[in-house]
Structure 1
Amino acid sequence: MAYFVLPGRGKRVYRLAIARRIVDSTSRGARDRSAAGHARRRTRVLRRALRPSRRLQIGLGPWLRALPARLPDPALTAALSRLDPHVRVAYVLRNVEGMPRYAVRDQLIELRVRDPWPVIRAAEAVEVPVPRRGDRFEAELLRPVRTRSVIPLAAAVFLTAALVGALLVTEREGAREASARGLGLVTAAPDAWTRGARSLDVWPARGDLAGDRAFGRRGAAVWAAEPGGRRPDSGVAQLLYAGTVDGVPLAVMRSGGRLARYASGRLDVAAIGADPSAPIALGGGRYLLSPWDARPETLAGGRLAASGGVTAPVRPGTGCGRGPLFHLGARTVGGLGGPRAAVLGYRPPVRRPGGPDRPAVLGRTARAFWKRLACAVPASSRPLSAATASHFWSGTLPHGGESADWTCTRVAYADGGAASFATLLGAENRATGACDVQRPVSGTWWRAASGRWYYVAAAGRGLAPHAEGVRGAATRDRLLVGRGTPGTAVTLTAR
């Protein structure tokens, strides 16, 4: 469990050694064999694996020598490393440890997660490789850890830390200048995008402060001084924008797959992805366009004003601030959170067999659907690059229920990976778990106007839902209705 929860960086041997060291460090309470004692130890392990101290890497030799002969497959850990840390914990507890949802909720609260249910739902919507049974390390396969006295090492570390602390006190300003010098700030030629392949590398620097080198260097210095996980991917950052937005100077810089926004002395860092054309959010409803996308259009089809590659303020027409924004070439982009606008897609309930799924401008029906859906889907903790809504069922819920629509939404993350989740849109929108856009089916417990509870489920065209765990289930027009006790586990399939 500690191995899968640790941040996904470094070699597997060090990751596994640190994981076992974390578990060994919690052995003081291991004599308490009760369920409560086990739960307390699990919480200590998770806390240390979520935020591992750098001190765990010091004197790691005994744990490295005790590694098993075979290391785990890196596919799962590579996929988990791209998740938000608490979502990663919830995924491991649910899918690796096999804990029920209520127990995962209690554990997340112990880890000081204020609102655990969105985290659990996000974990259940994740699509990652299933870990093999052999990836769970049994005690008999582990070699004993033989440690030596750490007193000499501790003394050396103490003396070194004291010396480094003295140097930092006397040379703090020099260190900051060195950090700034360590990050070069470059700009692309104004016409670079007209030659060769189109990519983020050829975006020119725009904005009324693009020529203010002192401002750009201040932003680069702050970025260079960030902690390890937020620093630039290389020693060079590309300036994309430097200008005044709503009276506040703003610098937008990029390094590899990371984007940094510097304003009012603060720095925000997020994954940006590799899309060469996705607009970048500047704040205040303004977006920085790629140099080759010069004519954005409003959702009504009129021209959206843009100057110097920056759009006029435009916001989604929804109460939650998420949803379609504007048309850009042959696609419609929307604001779903994160540093860039996401490409929105829509699959209607009836579509031409074998039709392509290439990005296209959303029509009136698709835009209206996305305005309803955007506020119903949970906000993502990871930046999104694209989202496609597969509207697979539309009808009326039984026993006096309202009209409703079921959709399976697939999102692609800017830092890699994807997830799909279902949403029931009606008078009361609700998330209904993970789904498969190719064979969509989803279900939920629903309370009728009479006060009685029913289990309702729907499947995509050409499929029929089948539910095990409900009574008297009947299906009509691809809508299954059954009875039972809310919260009862139901196995739902599409046939």
Structure 2
Amino acid sequence: MAYFVLPGRGKRVYRLAVARRIVDATARGPRDRTAPGLARRRTRVLRRALRPSRRLQIGLGPWLRALPARLPDPALTAALAELDPYVRVAYVLLRIEGLPKYAVRDQLRELRVRDPWPVIDAACAVSVPVPHRAERFDPAHLRPVRTRSVLPLVTAAALTTALVGVLIHTGSGRPGAAAPSLRLAAAPPSAWTRGARTLDAWPARGDLTGDRAFLDRAAAAWAAAKGGRSPGGGTAQLLYAGHAGGAPLALMRRGDRVARYAPPGLDVVTAGTDASAPIALGGGRYLLAPWEPAPRTLAGAALPARDGVVAPAPAGTPCGRGPLFHLGDRTLGYLGGPRAAVLTYHSPGYAPGGAPAAPARLGPGAVRTWNRLGCLEPPRSRPVTDAMAWEFWSGTLPHGGAPASWFCTRTAYADGGRAGASMLVADRPHDTGPCDARRPVSGTWWQSPSGRWYFLAAAASGFVPRVRGALGPAATDHRLLVARPERGPNVPVAVTAAPR
């Protein structure tokens, strides 16, 4: 967030280093982990990124040395650099952070913007290039920032080497004393056929499961991980050890955390405990549950899988998020995060309150819809179990408007879900706030091609929208309500759904 809000001058490496220095300087301890603490910290980060001090450029070496191996795509930052600073903040909060408009309004007021709505409207009207890859920084990929002299570290390393040499020479080291403090264990290959189908029953697969030296290095790397990522001593479950994509890779698990070890790097993520959701290995490859059938491409062809690992199946979208492949009677997609999620879709004719639909693969039309929505949904860092898209209204907007579709999307996590509505006009999204995923209804202010403002509201099949607010006469046609404002636009309006 700090990286995109900073003024667009200078090289990317300095911009990213300054952004991380700002974030590091705003940390205030454990209280930052609470929801109010995170909100206050976000305000501190935005204030410093809006008007960065020149002193941040002094002594920047430790942050430059800690840069990730791959820098963000410059196209987006170049476009954002042309915007007014507060419009840039609003765009980042809306489109990259995925915050609803009311939260962006509150944040702008915290930044002392007297009238946030014109700023938000300007941000919604911005059209910037779609980045070639997801613009999220996984904390597990960031190198530690070392701001102290390396001389004490070199001295300590030399003394440790000497001490180890003495211990080996005198025979003080007991057999096994050099083994990693974390031990890897694997479920029996047929455990999933005899008991509950849980993650604990996933066997270890791959051509390196018998390479004890490689596994010891993987376990030692996780045991030595910094920043609270280490599981400590004890036992972790080995899920995979092999050459995924040609390079050696180990996948280890303890509880809801998964560590991917690809020498020399280690990536630790919270992956949840869903037993059936494929786990991302990187490079478009996923490790499947041992009981899953052979995967299929979105076109229905067989998709190769070896040792439980699906061949690369990237989403066919510019941002890399969207449908991936069929697995039995489900369609899996990538929305960000460490797991693939089950994608479902309801067309405008779907009737709310009916019997739950049986799991089914997405058809070509539903795949095209999710390809449109994939890049519009903000990347999810938490493991997603399933995601539903309900196209509850589609048609042509009135008074010379363009064809549009109104969606209610619900993302489900292990501890709950989040649903929100958005209207797509010529594939440009308009966030219209939360929605009820059981019987969607939503409303928004919309400006016609002639420049006049209208309030639009739509409801799912079998319902009609009802509104309360400072509106003039309203007309409803094909479940779309259209009303003119009594005063100006953007006044609060309450929207409900009534049975037809």
Cα-to-partner distance string for 1:162-217 (whole Å, 9 max, x where unaligned) = xxxx999955998xx98973322111122222211111111111222222222222
> Which residue of the partner structure matches residue 109 of structure 1?
46
TM-score (norm 2): 0.65
Tell me, yes or no, if the aligned pair for 2:384 and 2:413 is still in contact at 8 Å: yes
Per the alignment, in what secondary structure is the counterpart of residue 225 of structure 2?
coil
Per the alignment, in what secondary structure is the counterpart of residue 261 of structure 1?
strand
Cα-to-partner distance string for 1:371-427 (whole Å, 9 max, x where unaligned) = 21112212223231210112211111111111111111111125x221111121230
> Which residue of the partner structure matches residue 185 of structure 1?
184
Distance 1:171 1:432, change over 3 A: farther
Distance 1:354 1:91, change over 3 A: farther
Tell me, yes or no, if the aligned pair for 1:273 and 1:385 is still in contact at 8 Å: no
The answer to whether structure 1 residue 490 and structure 2 residue 489 are counterparts is no
Per the alignment, in what secondary structure is the counterpart of residue 253 of structure 2?
strand
Per the alignment, in what secondary structure is the counterpart of residue 300 of structure 2?
coil
Distance 1:233 1:323, change over 3 A: farther
Q: What are the within-5 Å matches in structure 2 for residues 45-194 of structure 1?
A: 51-53=27-29, 88-89=35-36, 109-110=46-47, 115-118=92-95, 121-122=98-99, 181-194=180-193
Shift of 1:464: 1.5
Cα-to-partner distance string for 1:274-317 (whole Å, 9 max, x where unaligned) = 22111122222222111111411121222212122112221222
Shift of 1:223: 1.7
Per the alignment, in what secondary structure is the counterpart of residue 463 of structure 1?
strand
> Which residue of the partner structure matches residue 431 of structure 2?
431
Distance 1:374 1:90, change over 3 A: farther
Where do 5+ consecutive residues of structure 2 fail to align? Answer: 1-22, 51-88, 104-154, 165-175
Tell me, yes or no, if the aligned pair for 2:271 and 2:382 is still in contact at 8 Å: no
- C-alpha distance in 1, partners of 2:474/2:317? 37
- C-alpha distance in 1, partners of 2:386/2:494? 30
> Which residue of the partner structure matches residue 480 of structure 1?
481
The answer to whether structure 1 residue 327 and structure 2 residue 326 are counterparts is yes
Counterpart residue identity of residue 450, structure 2: S
Q: What are the within-5 Å matches in structure 2 for residues 11-26 of structure 1?
A: none
Counterpart residue identity of residue 310, structure 2: T
> Which residue of the partner structure matches residue 382 of structure 1?
382
Distance 1:181 1:91, change over 3 A: closer
Where do 5+ consecutive residues of structure 1 fail to align? Answer: 1-46, 57-79, 94-103, 127-165
Shift of 1:355: 1.9
Tell me, yes or no, if the aligned pair for 1:399 and 1:448 is still in contact at 8 Å: yes
Tell me, yes or no, if the aligned pair for 2:96 and 2:378 is still in contact at 8 Å: no
Per the alignment, in what secondary structure is the counterpart of residue 236 of structure 1?
strand
- C-alpha distance in 1, partners of 2:491/2:232? 48
Distance 1:439 1:351, change over 3 A: closer
- C-alpha distance in 1, partners of 2:38/2:102? 9
Shift of 1:480: 2.0
Shift of 1:48: 11
Per the alignment, in what secondary structure is the counterpart of residue 367 of structure 2?
helix
Tell me, yes or no, if the aligned pair for 1:389 and 1:410 is still in contact at 8 Å: yes
- C-alpha distance in 1, partners of 2:339/2:315? 14
- C-alpha distance in 1, partners of 2:217/2:294? 33
Counterpart residue identity of residue 239, structure 2: L
Identity %: 51
Tell me, yes or no, if the aligned pair for 1:233 and 1:256 is still in contact at 8 Å: no
> Which residue of the partner structure matches residue 247 of structure 2?
248
How big is the alpha-carbon RMSD for the aligned residues of Structure 1 and Structure 2? 3.6
Counterpart residue identity of residue 194, structure 1: T
Cα-to-partner distance string for 1:459-491 (whole Å, 9 max, x where unaligned) = 222231314244443322221223344443333
- C-alpha distance in 2, partners of 1:426/1:365? 18
Per the alignment, in what secondary structure is the counterpart of residue 493 of structure 1?
strand
Distance 1:317 1:121, change over 3 A: closer
Tell me, yes or no, if the aligned pair for 1:206 and 1:309 is still in contact at 8 Å: yes
The answer to whether structure 1 residue 305 and structure 2 residue 282 are counterparts is no
Cα-to-partner distance string for 1:13-52 (whole Å, 9 max, x where unaligned) = xxxxxxxxxxxxxxxxxxxxxxxxxxxxxxxxxx999844
> Which residue of the partner structure matches residue 82 of structure 2?
none
- C-alpha distance in 2, partners of 1:219/1:110? 41
- C-alpha distance in 2, partners of 1:472/1:106? 41
Per the alignment, in what secondary structure is the counterpart of residue 193 of structure 1?
helix
> Which residue of the partner structure matches residue 202 of structure 2?
203
Tell me, yes or no, if the aligned pair for 2:182 and 2:232 is still in contact at 8 Å: no
Cα-to-partner distance string for 1:237-258 (whole Å, 9 max, x where unaligned) = 1111122233322211111101
The answer to whether structure 1 residue 344 and structure 2 residue 347 are counterparts is no
Distance 1:301 1:480, change over 3 A: same
Per the alignment, in what secondary structure is the counterpart of residue 221 of structure 2?
helix
> Which residue of the partner structure matches residue 365 of structure 1?
365
- C-alpha distance in 1, partners of 2:239/2:48? 38
Per the alignment, in what secondary structure is the counterpart of residue 219 of structure 2?
helix
TM-score (norm 1): 0.66
